Amino acid sequence: MTSETKQRPHVVVIGGGFAGLQATRELRKVDVSVTLLDRRNFHLFQPLLYQVATGELSPANIATPLRGILRKQTNARVILEEVTSISLDSNLVHTTDSAIEFDYLIVATGAIHHYFGREEWRPLAPGLKTLENATEIRRQILGAFEAAERSNDPDEIHELLTFVIVGGGPTGCELAGALAEISRHTLQNDFRSIRPADARIVLVESGDAPLDVYPEPLPQRAASDLKKLGVEIQPQCRVVEIEPTHVMVRNKETDEVKRLNTRTVLWAAGVKGSPLGAILCEAAGIDADRGGRVPVGSDLSVPGHDNVFVCGDLAQVKMKEGGEVPGLAPAAMQMGAQAAKCIRADLQSNPRPEFRYRDKGSLAVIGRCTAVGQIGSYKAKGFVAWFIWLFIHLMYITLFRNRLLVLMQWGWTFVTHDRSARLITDGANSEISTMEQATGWNADPAMPTTRGLEPSSQTGSDSSS
């Protein structure tokens, strides 16, 4: 850094997701020096990860290099690092290679999958958080059809063509609808020994219906739309065992346990705060909530540390009218902007504003030409909701080039049902790397509870099941 830069207050932002990137960009006209730390060199548009997992989009369509986004912001720099610890007393962020001093710290590392104490399920039921997850799920899905084509055993073929999705939130519904599209249309003429349309897609949901975070009649409409696509819904059920060849499901009402023979299980049932939240809470001498989130004040600062902010789905923010701020991208972006406003207010010796979440509504796509959602008191469904979902998500993709590529790919898929990115690549389910387990930081967050009218949050909770 130059001597001039050193004289400026130094803001360190951990995490280049929706909240962290928004905070960084909001500080572009503030007389501070910003360092954005991320384990990855790109910002990931996670609401469309499921389309990578199902072969509709390529990874490059939904990922944008952070340096490219911030190339014109001269007061910001990007450092690829993993955070190992935070010293609040000495205002230091410790990484694998160095210690970085800060005047202000913004932590926005999102959330990771929550397997409710059954970590042995993680390699057997991958979730959808990162590009690696998406390409691994794509490999498993397409590999199952390829293995079924080679098999001469009817029972094995049935197991290979049975796909179980755990969790009926937006992520689960999106995956179920996309799988139905793949098996009923995209692959219908690609094989000679099997009928892809015979694939069984099972959605396990602990509530009465998928998307039960919405008011009626939207959950029932979602269930109806999924059934029309050929998805089998098992409501009021919880997974009690996952093995390489089967899943055991217990009905909450009858206590009956049922076995589902399958070789592919996808997890969309819950998330918890990034492990960095626990590290931060320990450093601050406070307790995280049950979901591993960090409780923050009305200005999003950590209690007892006014210069440390937590944003996005790692933050537990209680609203005055009751309830908590949901795990949506609009909420994460608003939190990032709030942290920047507080820093600007401090530098101008003004009182800090309180954070107020502005609910812009939410949408969840079910399948081709159908979605459900709520905008204020208006309950959107069907083609209208689907069209709004397409438009909003397209507009919030970071670069115009990516918007154009996604628009072209969507148009081609809509007309032809062809998913041209259905490539089987080598890879492993690496949601949390060895280093992440050691450092407690996962920079790539989870999917949201509901799809916001702006893009869904970098993390959030599909925890309805």
Residues taking part in catalysis: 174
Question: What helix, strand, coil percent values describe the chain, rounded to 5?
Answer: 35, 25, 40
CA 306 to CA 312: how far, in whole Å?
A: 17
Instruction: Give the count of beta carbons closer than 10 Å to the beta carbon of residue 202.
Output: 20
Element holding 264 (H helix, E strand): strand 264-267
CA 26 to CA 402: how far, in whole Å?
A: 22
Q: Which two tokens stand for residue 464?
A: 């309805």
Q: Which two tokens stand for residue 156?
A: 């094995």
Looking up tokens 């055993």, which residue turns up? 153
Classify residue 441 as left (phi > 0), alpha (psi -120 to 50) or beta: beta
CA 223 to CA 229: how far, in whole Å?
A: 10
CA 355 to CA 392: how far, in whole Å?
A: 24
CB 444 within 8 A of CB 63: no
Q: What is the DSSP string of 103-147?
A: SEEEE---EEE--TT-GGGTTTS--SSSHHHHHHHHHHHHHHHHH
Cα–Cα distances in Å, from 92 out to 102, 141, 167, 345?
Answer: 6, 44, 39, 23
CA 290 to CA 271: how far, in whole Å?
A: 11
Instruction: Give the count of beta carbons closer than 10 Å to the beta carbon of residue 287.
Output: 11
CA 287 to CA 295: how far, in whole Å?
A: 8
CA 51 to CA 403: how far, in whole Å?
A: 14
Beta pairing, strands 162-166 & 264-267 = parallel
For CA atoms 43, 45, 49, 55, give the dihedral sign.
negative
CB 317 within 8 A of CB 354: no
Burial of 439 (0-12, 13-18, 19+ CB in 10 A): buried
CA 201 to CA 161: how far, in whole Å?
A: 8
Q: Which two tokens stand for residue 174?
A: 């999106």
Q: Which two tokens stand for residue 263?
A: 């070789």
